[in-house]
Amino acid sequence: MTATDPALTALAQSWCALSLLHGRIEGHIERTLQTHHDLSVREYSLLDVLSRQHSGPGGHLQMKQVADAVLLSQSATTRLVTRLEDRGLLSRYLCDTDRRGIYTDVTEAGLALLAAARPTNDRALREALDEAAKDPDLAPLVRAVEQLRIPASPVPAPASVSA
């Protein structure tokens, strides 16, 4: 295959369309969450992931698992946790069984903010998808996203590949 191969060109155009759709959706959700709840998309995602933890076996996430779930590096995730902890939305504590481990939980204030922001996030997602569906190049991708049915789990499984 060469750089001008039609299959590669089509693949590159499809990737660009997917990237454009993602950017539009994330940008719209970001602006909406910031305006209504003073939250970024990453902050919302972190609160959402951590709110799904439970006290049963394997119910608390290690920082690497959290980082994989919110698509950030471990250092960026740690900085994000610190910012939300400073706002009173998260708390950290030592693991009972391994004193080297530190867990992070969502505080009552964090849970209340997440509950208030969730409908806003969902509405902004719907608005962004509806707007993107008007673009003939993005409409097939919007339909594909709408048809995906991924079962929710209480705690995300550790990602095998970092994004």
Whether residue 152 lies inside any domain: the answer is no
- Pairwise CA distance, residues 90 & 108, whole Å: 9
Domain-embedded: residue 157: no
The predicted pLDDT at position 1 comes to: 53
- Cα→Cα distances 15→10, 43, 71, 130, 143, Å: 9, 26, 19, 20, 16
Q: Is residue 154 part of a domain?
A: no
Residue 102: give the domain boundaries: 12-147
**Position 29 in a domain:** yes
Give the Cα separation of 57 and 111 in Å (integer): 22
What's the number of domains the chain is made of? 1
Would you state the pLDDT for residue 161? 37
Q: What is the pLDDT along the chain (163 residues), one digit of tens a residue?
A: 556 777 778 889 999 999 999 999 999 999 999 999 999 999 999 999 999 988 777 778 888 889 999 999 999 999 999 999 999 999 988 877 777 778 899 999 999 999 999 999 999 999 999 999 999 999 999 999 999 988 765 554 444 333 3
pTM of the prediction? Answer: 0.83
161 domain-assigned:
no
Q: Does residue 80 form part of some domain?
A: yes
Q: Provide the 8-state DSSP code for 57.
A: T
Whether the CA torsion 71, 77, 79, 84 is positive or negative: it is positive
In a domain, 88, yes or no: yes
The pLDDT score that the predictor gives to residue 157 is 46
> In which region does residue 17 sit, left (phi positive, over 0), alpha (psi from -120 to 50) or beta (all else)?
alpha
Residue 156 lies in a domain: no
- The CATH number of the domain holding residue 124 is 1.10.10.10
